[in-house]
Amino acid sequence: MPLNRTNRVTGLLLDLPDDGRALHERLTAAIRSAILAGRLAPGDALPPSRALAEELSCSRWVVNEAYVQLVAEGHLTARQGSGTRVAPDVSTRPAVPPVVLPVQAPAPVVVDLRPGAPDVARFPAAAWSRAMHHVLMAGEGSDVFPSAEGVLRLRKVISGYLGRTRGVTVSPDEVVITCGTTHAVGLLAGVLARRSASRLAVEDPGWSRLGDAAAYAGLAIEPVAVDGEGLDVGRLKRMGVDAVLCSPAHQFPTGAALSAGRRRTLLAWAAERSAVVLEDDYDAEFRYDRKPIGALAALDRDNVAYLGSASKTLHPGLRMGWMVPPARLRAPVIKALEESGAGPGVFDQLALAQLIGTGDYDKHLRRARTLYRERREAVLAALYGHAVIRDAGPVEGIAAGLHLVLSLPPGHDDRDVADRLERRGVAVMPLSRYTHRRLRPALVIGYGRLSPARAPFAAAEIAAVLESGTPPASAGVRRIG
Ligand SMILES: Cc1ncc(COP(=O)(O)O)c(C=O)c1O
């Protein structure tokens, strides 16, 4: 049988066209062209001659002959102990020419104050590896395909956690494991769109990625204003939407908590219309000096879809979250998970269950709360040390979470201030990036990754930029709170 291809041993496809030449010559030519085309790179190891000969069903002499020839040409090197390799200085033509992008190197970020992420350097690596080690050694992941709603052990642990910390009393059967809140919003939006919902209200200002996920799933996104009491529920009632996405315990980014009156009105509105409230409980774990605010889902399990995430408490890269959809949406949500094949890996789910079950998660949260509280104190002290910042008004949204809102003196353009700070190596987000409205100029500052030692530098840079800029004239800006 003429042999003209191989790739089983090396994973590299070698073409050996049957052109009448001897096999060792064809093999020499095939390896040479793989090197010249850049498919074998300098330093790459060639398979041992015995293995390649076995695969080609030929004698080792054929392979050795090809290797000796290529060494003589300078394409390969053969050294005792390191086998046969592509020569380090061989000149190759890359298979794909490199793309040269005309980029101007951005200024390096010295201090990253963009909100959205915790300090991932504080990920409880030792506890996580203990949990994962336990899972792997106990052979717990023997369910080859986990159920779409998530591993039962994790759902049990999450149902306990939600009851204990958020007042949401649910059975494990009501919990669905997700790849985080963005995933959950996309899933729910898709389910609602298929049930002929068309419009979703979202908070303005708000975390736009969630609205984007809902829009991608087919819903029209309608911003609804936020003020010092949270979502403007009166306005929402007049909008005639099918669902609303909100962060009642700690509005992003203003930090407002939805007032008791508005919580009642919101739930009455949802019940009346059978509308769904998607409750983004994204950083409930971090409360400093205000009473913990229970979840809306604790008051209404019929119309509230509760959404939780490990992105702030552990690591956004874990892609792990949980939701408690209203009973009427549970089966369609699970079907959507089944059909899309999406969901966190079974080992990660079991490791999270183990982490929570052993108490290591609570221990980590206690440490993280202390850490972030210290960072908040440090950044506040540093900011208030500058008259230009103090005079602009109180820093807002500081009672909870990992970020705050810093008002700028009237007339400043927050995007311009953010751009100027970025050129000095300080990355912040302008409030205007989170809104369709014209709000007062402000910066949203994430302090989760800011070590107290760096806070004075960050504050001094902000103050210097504000002092150096002559603000353009402003007109008609609104306060958010
Ligand atoms: C307001 C808000 N909601 C939700 C999330 C979490 O999203 P996910 O769980 O998809 O990472 C974040 C993360 O930064 C957020 O800032």
Measure 180 CA to ligand 1 centroid, in angstroms: 7
Low-confidence residues of the chain, pLDDT below 50? 1-2, 473-477, 481
Ligand 1, pocket residues at CB < 6 Å: 116, 180-182, 207, 247, 252, 280, 282, 309, 311, 316, 321
Distance 27 CA to ligand 1 centre (A): 54
Residue 222: enclosing H or E segment and its boundaries?
A: strand 220-227
> Do the bridges between strand 176-178 and strand 321-324 make them parallel or antiparallel, or are there none, so unpaired?
antiparallel
Helix segments in 385-413, DSSP class H: 387-390
Q: Which of 112, 176, 181, 281 for mutating ligand 1's site (highest number of atoms within 8 Å of CB)?
A: 181
Q: For a substitution probing ligand 1, which of 252, 286, 444, 449 has the most ligand atoms within 8 Å of its CB?
A: 252
Are 256 and 229 spatial neighbours (Cβ–Cβ below 8 Å)?
yes
DSSP 193-206: HHTT--EEEEEES-
pLDDT at site 93: 60
Closest CA relative to residue 348, chosen from 132, 163, 38, 186: 132
Q: What is the whole-number distance in angstroms between the Cα of residue 181 and the centre of ligand 1?
A: 6
Q: Which of 119, 178, 231, 282 to mutate to test the pocket of ligand 1 (most atoms within 8 A of CB)?
A: 282
Token match 């899933």: residue?
Answer: 187
How much is the pLDDT for 282? 94
Per-residue buried b or exposed e for 343-377, using 16+ beta carbons within 10 Å of the residue's own CB:
bbebbbbbbbbbbbbeebbeebbeebeebbeebbe
User: Which of ligand 1's atoms lies nearest the C-alpha of 310?
Assistant: 9
Ligand 1, atom 14: closest residue by C-alpha: 116
Tell me which of 207, 322, 431, 433 to substitute to probe ligand 1's pocket, judged by most ligand atoms within 8 Å of the beta carbon: 207
d(CA 232, CA 187): 25
Peptide bond into 17 cis (omega under 30): no
Q: Are residues 226 and 247 in contact, defined by beta-carbon separation less than 8 angstroms?
A: no
Dihedral pair phi/psi, residue 245, rounded to 5°: -110, 125
Q: Which atom of ligand 1 is nearest to the CA of 184?
A: 10
The alpha carbon of 286 is separated from its chain's Cα centroid by a whole number of angstroms, namely 18
Ligand 1 atom having least distance to the Cα of 247? 1
Q: Which residue's alpha carbon is at the smallest distance from atom 3 of ligand 1?
A: 282
Find all residues with CB under 8 Å of 141, minimum gap 6, and list them.
135, 346, 347, 350
Instruction: Give the distance (Å) from ligand 1 centre to CA of residue 23.
Output: 59
Question: Residue 252 Cα, ligand 1 centroid: separation in angstroms?
Answer: 9
User: Which atom of ligand 1 lies at the shortest distance from residue 182's CA?
Assistant: 10
| CA distances for 342 relative to 55, 157, 242, 243, 337, angstroms | 38, 21, 26, 24, 6
Contact predicate 315/179, CB 8 Å:
no
Q: Mean pLDDT for the chain?
A: 91
Nearest ligand 1 atom, CA 252: 1
In angstroms, the CA 443 to CA 457 distance is 17
Residue 33 Cα to ligand 1 midpoint, Å, equals 49
Residue 311 CA, ligand 1 centroid: distance in Å: 7
Q: Which of 162, 194, 211 is nearest to 335 (CA)?
A: 194
Kindly give the distance from the C-alpha atom of residue 310 to the centroid of ligand 1, in angstroms, as a whole number: 9
In this structure, the residue with its CA closest to atom 4 of ligand 1 is 282
Q: Is the peptide bond before 253 cis (omega within 30 degrees of 0)?
A: yes
CA 193/CA 215 separation, integer angstroms: 10
Stated pTM of the model: 0.84
Q: Which amino acid is at 436?
A: H
8 A C-beta contact, residue 93 and residue 37: yes
Tokens for 207, please give them: 């975390």
Instruction: Transcribe 407-422 into DSSP letters.
Output: EPPTT--HHHHHHHHH
Q: Tokens 């204003």 belong to which residue?
A: 225
Angstrom distance (rounded) from CA 434 to CA 444:
10
Cα 77 to ligand 1 centroid, rounded to whole Å: 52
Supply the residue whose CA is at minimum distance from atom 13 of ligand 1.
116
Distance 302 CA to ligand 1 centre (A): 24
What pLDDT, on the 0 to 100 scale, is given for residue 57? 85
Q: Please give the Cα distance from 364 to 361 (Å, whole number).
A: 5
Residue nearest to atom 7 of ligand 1 (CA): 181
Burial of 38 (0-12, 13-18, 19+ CB in 10 A): middle
Ligand 1 centroid to Cα of residue 282, in Å, is: 6
Distance 182 CA to ligand 1 centre (A): 7
Distance, CA 57 to ligand 1 centroid (Å)? 56
Considering only CA atoms, give the Rg of the chain: 29
Q: Which residues pair with 203 in a beta bridge?
A: 224
Q: What is the pLDDT of residue 2?
A: 46
Nearest CA to ligand 1 atom 16: 116
Q: How far apart are CA 215 and CA 347, in angstroms?
A: 31
